[in-house]
Structure 1
Amino acid sequence: MKKLLKNGFIRLGLVVVVVGGAVAYWLMPPIAKVESAEIGNGVKVKFKTNGTQIEQFQNQSWNPYFAKGVNMGAAVPGHFPGELEISKDDYMRWFEMIQEMGANVIRVYTVLKPEFYEALVRYNAKHRDNPLFFIQGVWSPEEQLIEGQNAFDPKVKQKFEKEIQEAVEAVYGNIDLEAEEHSGKASGSYVFNAGPYLMSWIVGTEWDPVMVVKTNKNNPDVADYKGEHFQSQPGASPFEKWLAEMVDITAATEAEHGWQHPIAFSNWVTTDPLEHPGEPLVAEDMVSVDPTHIAAVDWDAGYFASYHVYPYYPDFFTFDKSFQTMKNDKGEADSYKTYLHKLKEYHNEMPIMITEFGVPASQGIAHTGMLGRDQGGHDDKEQGEMDADMFRQIHQEGYSGAILFTWQDEWFKKTWNTMHYDVPDRRAYWYNTLTNESHFGVLGMYPSKDDTIHIDGDASDWDKLDNGDKTKLELQSEGFNEIWATHDEGYLYLLVNFSESLEFSNHSIYLGFDTLKGGNRHAPQLQGKTLDEGLETLIELGDEDEGRMMIASNYDFHTRYYGHLSKILAFDPKELQDDSGLFKPWKLVVNYLLEHPDARFDHPFGDIDVGDLRRGTSNPQDPNYNSKAMWQVKGNTLEIRIPWMLLGFSDPSSLSAISYTDTGTKEFESVKVEGVRLVPWIVSKDSQKVIGLEGSDPYPVSKLPFYAWDRWEDVDVDYVERPKQSYYTMQKAMREVNQPVTE
């Protein structure tokens, strides 16, 4: 389910046929009509390359074209991409929103289900004067390439050629694709011809550098490729010759439909043709896949270069001084701007587009970048400002397009620094704000209570919840009147009513959480008090603006994985003892320790605290809205929402938490738990008096109630679809730009 804007209605065309006196009605696809130029033999061209630019045929002439776009994934919350659950109504609504943002093109990575192409044709039939174009990607056999390490393997080539053929026929509405079990591929009858709305092709995915090196090494004598429409250039590597053939097959297959469109292959910084002398990791600069080593020989629509360029990866963006020589509009040394300039300068005889860029709005962080452009850690507003800044830089440097990653948030995504902590086959069922990859979208897919419970210190939202959707936690403690709890796919929510208003200058608020046997029964924060059961995690609200989540040292995943299991991080063995009394910051790794010979030079291990909890309001209608706001206090009322993974959950949908058990491997075991037990108390900063844990010592935590919930499955997942603040910031940036910068 989802909560969203009201859908519009689609009017379908009818054809009437009289058969034997009876009247039969069929729904007929609208015919795509776009202005195009014709070349020899009636072949149509709408877009073509000309020197270093891409041009569009419009108003009976060729005009410079700048692609302002968004990438679009294939999943919605509760589903994995292979399930292809996005409906035709979703697409119709999204297309309107995308054009309203100022974009003129959508990029998709692979063949989507027929509803996508149908919706696009129907949408454009209603917007003939301003159609929305798309870039069609062709997914390369990524797994087979990495497993076999040889692009010339006949099975790999056969599979890729089949993908190309299916992609072209699907775009032109000329194929029935049978469902393949466990393939994750789209299937169905493709009858809508979306070809006239195609802007270009991008063939393949990001190339694994080790695979490229081994392909080159194992096929040294492969001949230059001389195809009908594309060929390899002198000096091309074996892998580039293979790519020339794949691009040529794409062109030849499309030519059968009487159309030509510009073609590129997918590429990224890791396999670009530039030198990155300050890059520590050898694999990130070991081989290039050079677009200039392929040329069009009989393809009027032309050929261009396509790159994914993010500001935080590889690490040279942060550490390489040779990429910090240019200043941005604010007068700051900027590695992203420097890189864009150098890459554009290298491709000085062909058009080039940045087809992925962006930063995610998330609690989690996976890499750090210059000027704060980290891979995560941003709120929705910060995300928009950084995305818009990069968009403008791409345009200023004379590129032919900037395609933002991405349109919608996708919950199923994984990230290298949280994937050890979650349950892979259930990632799509919950909103993990520590997994930054799930939150690149400008269309937010928020958990279901996002429009019900607003973190603002106002308890009236809770009155609107059904009694079955909230639980009163029975607590007889000084300082607390009552505590309520509820949850959704993203958070545990608490409403705490204190006996009196609290001033942070005089008091600190602590919320301890017990999910498993073990943890800390004593700690400095308890001021000498002890508990009869241990706490796994602890929240401290000790000042006006910031709170923080801490984790018991013997439960701390970070120390256990990178210290005890991987022997990378130094730690005191006493920290891993039960009831160590130590709560540590909640951290994620952002870069590994790199040493020769794996690295050109030693590069230290890096991690970052992600347990910070911002005070603010999560009400999007409030002028002070902050998407990362986690708590607010007003008077004697505290509202707080706590991300599931910060509480130790590997999958809240099945009540699975990470265990204390040492498996003897670099894998964590998940165990089913009953729920979460809350242990709240207050400390007076002047007297160090503990309020709320009165009575016997040890305090009987075991008698406090658990907050429990029912397991949920994909059909139970609900979510709120809403444009982020970044949507409106990108809207302003995109509407400022109409044409490319001419040289």
Structure 2
Amino acid sequence: MHLLKNRIVISILIIICGIYMWEFWVKPITGPIYTEAVADYKHGNYIHSLELLDRAQRIDPNDAAILALAGWNHLKLGDPKTAEEPYFRRAYELAPYVEDITLGYAYAEIALGKHEQARMLLDKLRQAGVDTPDMLVAQGALYRALGRYREAAEQFQQALSRDPANELAAKNLRELLNVSGDLRNIKVEFAPLVRPAQLQVFFRAKGDFFERKAGANWEPVYFAGVTLSSALPGFYPADSAADPAMYTDWINRIGDMGANSIRVYTIMPPAFYRVLLEFNKSRGSRPLYLLQGIGCGDPPRDDMFNGTYYQQCRNNIRQVIDVIHGRGDVAAGNGHAGGVYTTDVSAWVAGFMVGDPWLSHVVTSNNLLHPDIQKYEGAYVEVPAGTATEIFLAQMVNYTAEYEEGTYNWQHPIAFINWPTLDPLRHPTESTLLEEVAIRRAQGERLPTPTGPFDDDDGVSVDPMKLHAREKFAAGYFASYNVTPYYPDFLNHDPRYLAVRDAEGSNPFLGYLQDLKAHHEGMPLVVSEFGIPSALGIAHFSPAGFDEGGKTETQQGQLLARLSRSVRDSGAAGGMIFEWVDQWFRQSWVQRDYEVPADRRVLWTSPMNPGEHFGIMAEDPHGRATHTLSGSAAEWADQKPWYTESKPGPAVPVGDRYDPSRDLKSLFMDSDEAYLYIRLTVGKLDNDNDGQPDWAQTNYLLGLGTAPQVGGLTYLPFIIPIRFPMGMSYAIQLAGPSSARIWIASTYNPFRIAQVEGIPSQTTLSSKLGWRASVSATGTFEAQISEPNRRRYSRDGRYFPPQRYERGILRYGTLTPGSPDYDTLAEWHANLQSNTIDIRIPWSLLGVTDPSSYKIVAGLERDGTVMTTDASGFYAAAFSYRPLDTARTRPIMEQGHPVSDALPDLAGPASLPVNSIKPYRWAGWSVPRYNLRLKDSYAILQKAMPSLTAPPSRAERPAEAGGVRRGAGARAGR
């Protein structure tokens, strides 16, 4: 027994000695590893810091400091879930009152939206007496996440007062207040609210126009300006550009253009209002007035009286009014910016525009849901008889006036947003879908009965004239319409509108506005949006040339000036050009389905999408400044050639003096957010010295395999058969300034022109539903056709055929101002001095649905959904050939022109080694590069604006002149 006790004691001593030896002699020390990990963290090397901490954790898995630092690294890497569990939660269990651990845990919970848990953690720290700058910053972060921006700003400001070097506090405060520079004297608190004793009205709707208070008098004013959205490339409107210097530049340029007003759709960042106020104070008699939008969005299940939606609209109204009076505390979201707003611009606000241009099915459904809502009597507006939608809008207009006067004792003119689709006029040429289906069936067409909802362009109306301003509403009420000059189709088809002319010819836009103004007689009518895009692609044709796309920047400026004059000549009280700056996030129906994934749409720009290019200021892809199609050697100086010839001269010379033009020297490739760029260098373009390339003697063909092993043909058109097993999906033919196009392989084309079933004399452009791209040895190359205007029927059965164009025709020119070939839409150019041919092809003409992530078209589902696959690279080959007159009349796949030269090099007269064709794979991106640039349209509008912004003359104000204005098409549509 005694021996047993001794053995136990000895064993315990051995264990204790072993533990001592492990802890102090054998066990690795975590201290140096942790110290190195901290240094990596401070230098932003988060991945390496985590690798070190992983080693340290294996040594000591319960060290709270190691766990916490791992959590901070994961937070910095944007992974709050991993930061929370297992790191911060476990560290907090081990050391619940260590500030650094608790703050990290709270930040992780904030990032995960667990705001109540974060509040409890911070409360425990506060109860423990922690009141450091870092604690204040964390509290500010929680307030910011909760949308309590002013309280957040106060916390960040307090943190900076104690720790002026606190970068996180400074960053947050700058973002919330949208300021730059010194933050020491920045104003965070709202000024005390003092309601003026007398009602303040600086603008009023009077008769057909507006008036502005000028001392004791009222002066007439006409609004001529631009609309402004501020989503820069890579962002959506909710993430509006916030750089104060940018707003200073923009507002100064808008003012210098001669505009006197800006329309914004929703709440802008705080810097916008601050800069606007500073500008107006400095400009004296040439200020910029603000037309402020108040959006509601689409109602759930088309019910505008849904309780949550109704209150959200009222909340939006309150927020906007607080913002323009310098007392806004707004959380970003729902398509608008946020922040703390302390700048009062109420004296410069010309009016509010409430609501949205809803689709017709929303209005129809809302009216059907609430048939008993037929009248309304508010303190400011009334509707003796109207639809549920008109009553809803009247209530929102009334609430806007009520809240502003009740809170601030101010009034501003108010309108609701409308558009031609919902106008109160009747348009005989605009049939509804069901009317058109009946007409088409009567013509013999076989088609199923369509299912709703139906978005007709003359099926339901919302009439501003049904709202009457009451005596209490001193600022008054006006009508606001967004009007495009090319759509709806009744602008293009109605003979009464087409018959209206201005100094430049037929002007259906003016005709429609005259008709619209005649209906709104005695009420100011603001055309709150009209525009023309400077895009390569076309989304809708107009018989007057007011097309949605296909216009150069010069043409854009000329048309915008003409349309601006039309707005004024119609008797309207103002017109807002859509829009100041291009917006990459905007979509157009002609491209929308082929721009996927949708969440990456803002990362690139398509010249074929007109919706992106309405701006007077361009958001150019970064390559435009470099690739001007001018032939300059400097533009490609930093690029290595993709192919170079192995020996001089064409591989198969013809033996005439034009062989140098067939000698292909090198091929370069580059790309950016909009285009694939190609440069082809030849021996000599002009060999007969006539000042032109030798197009009659030499043509060029470039094959592009954009979807290798996915879609394309194994042979190219025009030339003798040369096999490409991977498949060539596109062929670029260059045969002269007016004879260049990009063809698409029939096995890769998702569209076809088909006969209308039951009416074989009519055709339509349709999608190949259920189609899969394929590589084939049989087929042809086809023109790329677009159909901006589908076939239509008027209510009386008149047929309007579809309007199509070949979008694959390449425009000749350069991007160099002053050049005789200058064209802002140019896609290719041949330069005699450098003997180069420069090409830029929009990604959308190459089947690319997202160049930033290499997505290309692979097929269509039965429902029309575009299927995509990843592009492994573009295979390119270039050829020169002498066009034979005898072959030109044959089908393009059978012409068989002999090839003179090729890149990569030919192995024989009709042989190109496949392994010599290299795939070009560009660098993808998650952050786009771009440049802002004033378009040529700016200077044109600058010349036009002085006559547009002049106050309306007495003759234009019939109420004062003793007459009544009636447009040329007055009430013709009713």
Relative to the length of structure 2, the TM-score reads 0.68
Of residues 947, 951, 957, the one that matches 1:742 is 957
What's the RMSD between the two structures over aligned residues?
Answer: 2.9
**Letter paired with 1:494:** I
Matched, 1:647 2:846: yes
1:556 is displaced (CA, Å) by 1.2
Matched, 1:709 2:922: yes
1:87 is displaced (CA, Å) by 1.6
1:562 is displaced (CA, Å) by 12
**Letter paired with 2:313:** F
Equivalent residue number for residue 517 of structure 2 = 344
Structure 1 pair 129–40 and aligned structure 2 pair: CA distance change class (3 A): same
Equivalent residue number for residue 443 of structure 1 = 617
Equivalent residue number for residue 387 of structure 2 = 237
Q: Deviations over 1:624-661 (max 9, x none)?
A: 531101111122211111111111111111121111x4
Distance between the aligned counterparts of 1:168 and 1:428, measured in 2?
30
1:308 is displaced (CA, Å) by 1.1
Distance between the aligned counterparts of 2:756 and 2:697, measured in 1?
37
User: 1:525-564 residue pairs with structure 2 within 5 A?
Assistant: 525-559=718-752
Matched, 1:299 2:496: no
Relative to the length of structure 1, the TM-score reads 0.88
Structure 1 pair 595–702 and aligned structure 2 pair: CA distance change class (3 A): farther
Distance between the aligned counterparts of 1:507 and 1:237, measured in 2?
68
Q: Deviations over 1:600-631 (max 9, x none)?
A: 77655543221221111112354653110111
1:304 is displaced (CA, Å) by 0.8
Matched, 1:507 2:705: no
Distance between the aligned counterparts of 1:657 and 1:403, measured in 2?
38
Equivalent residue number for residue 6 of structure 1 = none
SS at match of 1:426: helix
Matched, 1:671 2:869: yes
1:66 is displaced (CA, Å) by 0.8
Q: Deviations over 1:139-173 (max 9, x none)?
A: 1122xx2x412222222211111111111111212
User: 1:42-53 residue pairs with structure 2 within 5 A?
Assistant: 42-53=198-209
Equivalent residue number for residue 101 of structure 1 = 257
Contact kept, 8 Å, 1:490 with 1:644, in 2: the verdict is yes
User: 1:120-199 residue pairs with structure 2 within 5 A?
Assistant: 120-142=276-298, 145=299, 147-179=300-332, 183-199=334-350
Structure 1 pair 30–615 and aligned structure 2 pair: CA distance change class (3 A): farther
Contact kept, 8 Å, 1:447 with 1:490, in 2: the verdict is yes
Contact kept, 8 Å, 2:424 with 2:462, in 1: the verdict is yes
Contact kept, 8 Å, 1:30 with 1:125, in 2: the verdict is no
User: 1:344-493 residue pairs with structure 2 within 5 A?
Assistant: 344-423=517-596, 424-463=598-637, 466-467=638-639, 471-474=641-644, 476=646, 478=651, 479-493=663-677
1:280 is displaced (CA, Å) by 3.4
SS at match of 1:483: strand
1:217 is displaced (CA, Å) by 2.2
SS at match of 2:670: strand
Structure 1 pair 59–506 and aligned structure 2 pair: CA distance change class (3 A): farther
**Letter paired with 1:94:** W
Distance between the aligned counterparts of 2:536 and 2:585, measured in 1?
16
Equivalent residue number for residue 856 of structure 2 = 657
Q: Deviations over 1:479-532 (max 9, x none)?
A: 211112222111111121112325112222111111222312224412344333
Q: Deviations over 1:248-300 (max 9, x none)?
A: 01111111212211111100000011111101344110111111100111111
Aligned residues: 698
Contact kept, 8 Å, 1:230 with 1:247, in 2: the verdict is yes
SS at match of 1:134: strand
Q: Structure 2: where are the runs of 5+ without partners?
A: 1-160, 162-182, 434-455, 652-662, 686-692, 758-762, 886-896, 959-974
Distance between the aligned counterparts of 1:31 and 1:390, measured in 2?
43
Distance between the aligned counterparts of 1:80 and 1:558, measured in 2?
31
Distance between the aligned counterparts of 1:472 and 1:421, measured in 2?
29
Structure 1 pair 213–326 and aligned structure 2 pair: CA distance change class (3 A): same
**Letter paired with 2:809:** D
Equivalent residue number for residue 940 of structure 2 = 729
Distance between the aligned counterparts of 1:595 and 1:269, measured in 2?
19
SS at match of 1:632: strand
Question: Structure 1 stretch 513-522 or stretch 298-307: which is displaced more?
Answer: 513-522
1:193 is displaced (CA, Å) by 1.2
**Letter paired with 1:739:** P
1:596 is displaced (CA, Å) by 10
**Letter paired with 1:515:** T
Distance between the aligned counterparts of 2:645 and 2:318, measured in 1?
65
Q: Which has the higher strand share?
A: 1
1:31 is displaced (CA, Å) by 12
Structure with more contact order per residue of length (Cα contacts < 8 Å, sep ≥ 6):
1
Structure 1 pair 430–473 and aligned structure 2 pair: CA distance change class (3 A): farther
Question: Structure 1 stretch 261-270 or stretch 606-615: which is displaced more?
Answer: 606-615
Equivalent residue number for residue 64 of structure 1 = 220
Q: Deviations over 1:174-214 (max 9, x none)?
A: 1312345xx44322211111211211100011022122122
Matched, 1:26 2:185: yes
Contact kept, 8 Å, 1:531 with 1:700, in 2: the verdict is no
Structure 1 pair 529–294 and aligned structure 2 pair: CA distance change class (3 A): same
Structure 1 pair 603–621 and aligned structure 2 pair: CA distance change class (3 A): closer
Of residues 182, 196, 205, the one that matches 2:356 is 205
Equivalent residue number for residue 83 of structure 2 = none
1:662 is displaced (CA, Å) by 4.6
Distance between the aligned counterparts of 2:234 and 2:184, measured in 1?
37
Matched, 1:616 2:830: no
SS at match of 1:446: strand
Distance between the aligned counterparts of 1:668 and 1:401, measured in 2?
42
1:375 is displaced (CA, Å) by 0.8
Matched, 1:318 2:477: no
Contact kept, 8 Å, 1:407 with 1:442, in 2: the verdict is yes
Matched, 1:695 2:845: no
Matched, 1:629 2:629: no
Distance between the aligned counterparts of 2:911 and 2:820, measured in 1?
46
Contact kept, 8 Å, 2:244 with 2:272, in 1: the verdict is yes
Equivalent residue number for residue 400 of structure 2 = 250
Q: Which has the higher helix share?
A: 2
Q: Deviations over 1:294-327 (max 9, x none)?
A: 0111111111111111111111112222322322
Contact kept, 8 Å, 1:113 with 1:186, in 2: the verdict is yes
Distance between the aligned counterparts of 2:389 and 2:350, measured in 1?
26
Structure 1 pair 133–605 and aligned structure 2 pair: CA distance change class (3 A): same
Distance between the aligned counterparts of 1:213 and 1:284, measured in 2?
12
Equivalent residue number for residue 102 of structure 2 = none
Contact kept, 8 Å, 1:522 with 1:581, in 2: the verdict is no
SS at match of 2:266: coil
1:355 is displaced (CA, Å) by 0.8
1:447 is displaced (CA, Å) by 1.0
**Letter paired with 2:267:** V
Distance between the aligned counterparts of 1:228 and 1:314, measured in 2?
36
Equivalent residue number for residue 111 of structure 1 = 267
Distance between the aligned counterparts of 2:645 and 2:296, measured in 1?
58
